[in-house]
């Protein structure tokens, strides 16, 4: 049953029903096809699978645990559990697909990994993977983000990556994507583009999802072992949607488990300071694929806001767009303020400082627990919050 879903979606042209596909220049089309064919040939081989399994275990520190939050559950009701992706090497789920992408690159004989980064999390994960495999790494980053996220710029440089400042337009994530694609197009033979989430043209949303499935496969078994049951609900935050696809993928066929994807409601829906793509977006094209998009009055991707830089993207993965239309996943949102409250609650009740992205999912789980005190909820804690400490304390201060 389950494997049927993965065979059916995406279809051979990369569509999740009407979403996804590859709307790209012809020279790129050929490269994407090559990556797709190579992915199918290599990733199913025994050698690739056993290499990746060893990397997961001995380098990344997997499986990451599932943890029952006793004090948080006592205070808010319900039974709240966390899948601890914050304990994955480099402190977030992103390394799951970066190690997979880099291993694929090595098998393809590529010399260099190219990517964009917004807050720097994807750049750091990819630079880590490049160091592991002895590959070159080039990260494109908007000048504005370089200033804002300087500790991550230093991490990338220490790991041996080249950071290319992007100086045109708004000098943030969207321009960084354009710049990284351009660099990739100049030398598609010896380089490979490694995207940061379940977005972009086919085959990226499929490849990234497949590498992130390890979260759901582990979590389902661990939860069953711990409780003898499946969770009543599973909650994950959504930027592009890779950590959410990773955990949801193991529960899509379980009618007793409800899935919740949580977007940033930001400061306010009225002023447009949010990134609630599923709640307020419309289908359209962005970065070579079709999905729900927050659009301005001219149909262009709208400027978005979230306190969590990993979530402020005006598009979303094509698979999530499909799952929304199918009503398989409920998409809802959490405000900046609710996110900060959850950030401190989890820190002070459990001794776990969550990434601001992940705190959106924690905040929603706290609400669910209050509403349904008899039910269990499994949160994908996508990353740790060390990167956010300065910002949170400077901006919001410490609670009493």
Ligand X SMILES: *Cc1c(COP(=O)(O)O)cnc(C)c1O
List active site positions.
Answer: 69, 93
**358: contact with ligand X by CB under 6 A:** yes
Stretch that binds ligand X, among 133-141, 241-249, 279-287, 323-331 (CB under 6 A): 241-249
Report the residue number, 79 or 309, with the smaller CB distance to ligand X. Answer: 309
Site for ligand X in 107-146 (CB under 6 A): 121
- The answer to whether 104 contacts ligand X (rule: CB under 6 A) is no
For residue 295 the two structure tokens come to 């659009």
Which residue from 120, 240, 301, 315 is in contact with ligand X, where contact means CB under 6 A?
A: 240
d(CA 35, CA 195): 13
Is 301 a binder of ligand X (CB under 6 A)?
no
Cβ nearer to ligand X, comparing 92 with 135: 92
d(CA 275, CA 109): 38
Residue 324 CA to residue 319 CA, distance in Å, equals 9
Nearer residue to ligand X within complex by CB, 188 or 204: 204
Residue number with CB closer to ligand X (188 or 315): 315
Smallest separation (angstroms) from ligand X to the CB of 336: 15
Using CB under 6 A as the binding criterion, the count of chain residues that bind ligand X stands at: 18
* Partners of 20 in beta bridges: 15, 290
DSSP 234-267: EEEE-SSSHHHHHHHTTTTT-TTSEEEEEEEEES
Contact call for residue 277 and ligand X (CB under 6 A)? no
Per-position DSSP letters for 55-121, written without gaps between them: IIIIII-PSPPEEEEHHHHHHH-SEEEEEEGGGSGGGBTHHHHHHHHHHHHHHTT--EEEEEESSSH
In 3D space, the residue among 239, 246, 261, 245 whose CA is nearest the CA of residue 307 turns out to be 239
Pairing of strands 66-69, 79-84: antiparallel
If binding is defined by CB under 6 A, does position 357 make contact with ligand X?
A: yes
Among 95, 265, 383, 392, binds ligand X (CB under 6 A): 383
- Residue 213 CA to residue 282 CA, distance in Å, equals 27
Q: State which of positions 25-54 bind ligand X (CB under 6 A).
A: none
| Distance in angstroms (rounded) separating the CA atoms of residues 382 and 375 | 22
Binding mask 311-340 for ligand X (x = CB under 6 A): x-----------------------------
Q: Is residue 362 at the binding interface for ligand X, with CB under 6 A as the rule?
A: no
Subset of 43-102 contacting ligand X (CB under 6 A): 92, 94
Q: Minimum Å distance from CB 28 to ligand X?
A: 22
Q: Which residues, 138 to 197, sit near ligand X by CB under 6 A?
A: 197
Return the percent helix, strand and coil in the chain, to nearest 5. 50, 20, 30
Tell me the H-state helices in 149-239: 150-158, 173-186, 204-227
Does residue number 310 form part of the binding site for ligand X (CB under 6 A)?
yes
Q: Name the site residues for ligand X (rule: CB under 6 A).
A: 92, 94, 121, 197, 237-243, 310-311, 355, 357-358, 382-383
């Amino acid at each position: 049953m389950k494997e049927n879903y993965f065979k059916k979606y995406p279809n051979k042209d990369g569509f999740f029903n009407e979403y996804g596909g590859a709307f790209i220049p012809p020279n790129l089309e050929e490269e994407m096809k090559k990556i797709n064919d190579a992915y199918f040939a290599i990733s199913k081989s025994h050698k690739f699978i056993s290499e990746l399994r060893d990397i997961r275990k001995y380098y990344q520190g997997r499986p990451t645990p599932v943890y029952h939050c006793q004090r948080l559950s006592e205070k808010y009701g319900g039974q709240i559990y966390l899948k601890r992706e914050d304990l994955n090497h480099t402190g977030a789920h992103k390394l799951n697909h970066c190690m997979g992408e880099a291993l694929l690159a090595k098998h393809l004989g590529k010399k260099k990994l190219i990517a964009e980064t917004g807050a720097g999390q994807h750049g750091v994960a990819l630079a880590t993977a490049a160091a592991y495999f002895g590959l070159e790494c080039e990260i494109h980053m908007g000048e504005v983000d370089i200033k804002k996220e300087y500790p991550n710029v230093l991490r990338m440089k220490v790991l041996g990556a080249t950071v290319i400042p992007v100086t045109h337009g708004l000098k943030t994530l969207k321009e960084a994507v354009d710049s990284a694609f351009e660099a990739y197009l100049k030398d598609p033979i010896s380089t490979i583009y490694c995207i940061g989430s379940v977005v972009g043209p086919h085959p990226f949303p499929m490849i990234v999802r497949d590498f992130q499935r390890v979260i759901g496969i582990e979590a389902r078994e661990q939860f069953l072992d711990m409780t003898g049951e499946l969770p009543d609900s599973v909650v994950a935050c959504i930027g592009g949607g890779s950590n959410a696809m990773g955990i949801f993928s193991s529960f899509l066929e379980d009618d007793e488990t409800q899935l919740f994807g949580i977007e940033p409601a930001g400061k306010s829906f009225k002023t447009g300071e949010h990134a609630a793509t599923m709640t307020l977006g419309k289908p359209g094209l962005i970065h070579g694929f079709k999905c729900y998009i927050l659009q301005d009055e001219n149909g262009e991707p709208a400027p978005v806001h979230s306190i969590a830089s990993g979530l402020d993207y005006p598009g979303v993965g094509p698979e999530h767009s499909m799952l929304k239309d199918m009503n398989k996943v409920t998409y809802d949102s959490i405000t900046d303020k609710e996110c900060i409250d959850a950030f401190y609650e989890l820190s002070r009740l459990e001794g776990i400082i969550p990434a601001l992205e992940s705190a959106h999912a924690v905040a929603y789980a706290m609400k669910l627990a209050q509403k349904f005190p008899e039910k269990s909820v499994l949160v994908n804690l996508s990353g740790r919050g060390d990167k956010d400490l300065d910002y949170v304390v400077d901006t919001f201060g410490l609670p009493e």
